[in-house]
Structures are given as structure tokens and as C-alpha cells.
């Protein structure tokens, strides 16, 4: 299995995941406009027609903004929870073929898609029925965990024995609290239990999971204003000691190139 971020942050998110030989390619979220999404896909060496499915995490615009137009243009099935579907029902273009392309699923039940086993992971976030994902191609397990306020016991259990993990490191608490551009209510939302992970909470989650197979960690969804790559990297690196783990940071503008899990 391998994966590549097309961009990660509050201005848009999309993650490509490609299974081992014989498996397909799925896109997790698409918070970019169609033309920008197509440009980023081609920069990663993938034509939109090669995408077998789009997996949606939740209804916030930086994750779902381009999903339906991209899916409509290229006839890509969209998988999302029943709650997310209800939350975005009014946003689906009238021309979109709901019957053929919309696939609502139960957030507590895994399913097969494009040769991959998809395990939804319900998370605490201020959305209707948000999930993150663990993807398994039979030999490798990739966890994707962004957009949640804290690592619940369920999240910790779901992320054990991964080979690779894409993990939110949204903010540094001191930078967030001293940011004069953010009103107090927004700061409380981001830092709350249903908001976004700070670097320290991301590190706590990483320390709590079974890391016996973990070889790759990508810090993701960093805030441009409220975090720094070196702060996120240092927080996660503190968990590993001398473990041979590859640690990288995905950014908003260029994401991160293909990584073998």
C-alpha cells in the first residue's frame, strides 16, 4: 500500500490511497475545487478517471467542498455516513446521480471498496456523524486520523497495529491562544474536546496505541497560523526514542508525495 497527500490544512484536504497489486485507488475527501483537485491529482501521477471511490470523513467544506463536482464529472462513487449525507443533502448538485454514485454506510460497520477493507472510525468532532478510516489491503494497514478534539478510548483501540498513520497536529495551544486574528469563541471550538488535536494530544494518542508494526507517521492538518512544522515534528518524535520510524509533515500547498506504507 502507498499513499500521497494532495494538500492538508484548513484550506483543503485530500489523500490518495493505493492498495497493493490488484487493489484500486481511493481518495479520502476532496476539499479543493474541481480544477485544482484535477491539477493536484495529475501532479501525483493520477488521472481522475483512475480513482475508484471517494471516502468522505465529514461535511466541513475543507473536506467535502469539491467532492460532488469531481465525482459527477468523472463518475466516481462517493462513500459517506448516513449522518454526513443528511448534513450535506442540500449541497449535492441537482444533476448529481445520487442513485448510482452515493453510497451511505453505517459508521460502525466495515466494508470492502476497490480491493481494500475500509474500517470507519467514529470520532469526537463537531460534525453530524464524522468518521476517520483504517484501510487494509491484506498485508498493510494505514490509519487516517484528522479532525477530532481528543483521542477517545475507541479511537485508541481502532488505531492499534498500524503500519502507517496520518495524524492530525492542528495547533500549538500557545500559538492559538495568542493569535489576535481568532475570536475567543473560535479558539474555544478549536481547542475543545470536539474540535482539533493539538500537538501534545496527537503525541498522547501516538504513545497510547500499539506501535509494534508502525513504521511511518505523517503529521497532517497543521494550521498555517497556529502551528509550525518543527513543533509538530518534535511532539511526535518525542514518542519514539530510537524506534526506526519515518516521520514526515504534509503541508497545505503541496501535501506530500507518495509514501510506501
* H-helix segments, the chain: 34-43, 61-64, 67-74, 82-88, 98-101, 153-158, 173-177, 184-191, 199-208, 229-237
Ranges 20-34, 161-175, 202-216: which has the least confidence: 20-34
241 has a pLDDT exceeding 90: no
**168: pLDDT confidence band, cut at 50, 70 and 90?**
very high
% residues pLDDT > 70 (the chain): 100
Mean pLDDT across 135-153? 97
Tell me the pLDDT band of 68, cut-offs 50, 70 and 90: very high
Residues 6+ apart with CB under 8 A from 71: 54, 77, 78, 96, 101
Bigger pLDDT: 205 vs 89: 205
Task: Provide CB contacts within 8 A for 230, sequence distance 6+.
Answer: none
Q: What is the pLDDT of residue 124?
A: 98
Q: Under CATH, to which class is 2-251 assigned?
A: alpha beta
**pLDDT of 123:** 98
pLDDT reported for residue 91: 83
Q: Is the pLDDT of residue 242 over 80?
A: no
Q: Which pLDDT does position 144 carry in this prediction?
A: 98
What is the average pLDDT across 73-84?
Answer: 97
pLDDT average, residue stretch 93-118: 95
pLDDT band of 20, cuts 50, 70, 90: confident
Mean pLDDT score across all residues of the chain = 96
186-197 pLDDT per residue, tens = 999 999 999 999
**Residue pointed to by grid coordinates 479543493:** 32
Using 50, 70 and 90 to split pLDDT, how confident is the model at 245?
A: confident
- The answer on pLDDT for 244 being more than 80 is no
Sheet holding 111-113, edge to edge: 111-113, 116-122, 131-136, 141-145, 164-168, 216-220, 246-249
Amino acid at each position: 500500500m502507498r499513499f500521497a497527500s494532495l494538500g492538508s490544512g484548513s484550506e483543503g484536504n485530500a489523500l490518495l490511497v493505493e492498495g497493493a497489486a490488484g487493489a484500486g485507488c481511493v481518495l479520502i475527501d476532496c476539499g479543493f475545487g474541481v480544477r485544482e483537485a484535477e491539477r493536484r491529482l495529475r501532479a501525483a501521477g493520477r488521472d481522475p478517471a483512475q480513482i475508484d471511490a471517494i471516502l468522505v470523513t465529514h461535511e466541513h467544506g475543507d473536506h467535502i467542498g469539491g467532492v460532488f463536482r469531481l465525482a459527477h464529472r468523472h463518475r466516481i462513487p462517493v462513500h459517506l455516513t448516513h449522518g454526513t449525507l443528511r448534513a450535506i443533502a442540500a449541497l449535492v448538485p441537482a444533476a448529481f446521480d445520487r442513485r448510482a454514485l452515493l453510497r451511505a454506510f453505517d459508521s460502525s460497520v466495515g466494508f470492502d471498496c476497490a480491493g481494500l477493507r475500509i474500517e470507519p472510525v467514529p470520532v469526537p468532532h463537531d460534525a453530524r456523524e464524522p468518521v476517520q478510516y483504517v484501510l487494509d489491503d491484506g498485508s498493510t494497514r494505514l490509519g487516517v486520523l484528522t479532525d477530532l478534539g481528543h483521542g477517545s478510548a475507541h479511537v485508541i483501540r481502532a488505531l492499534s497495529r498500524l503500519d502507517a498513520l496520518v495524524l492530525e497536529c492542528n495547533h500549538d495551544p500557545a500559538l492559538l491562544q495568542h493569535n489576535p486574528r481568532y475570536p475567543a469563541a473560535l479558539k474555544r471550538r478549536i481547542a475543545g474536546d470536539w474540535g482539533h488535536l493539538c500537538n501534545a494530544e496527537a503525541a498522547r494518542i501516538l504513545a497510547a496505541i500499539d506501535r509494534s508494526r508502525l513504521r511511518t507517521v505523517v503529521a497532517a492538518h497543521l494550521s498555517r497560523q497556529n502551528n509550525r512544522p518543527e513543533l509538530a515534528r518534535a511532539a511526535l518524535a518525542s514518542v519514539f526514542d530510537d524506534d526506526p520510524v519515518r516521520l514526515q509533515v504534509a503541508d497545505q500547498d503541496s501535501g506530500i508525495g507518495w509514501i510506501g506504507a
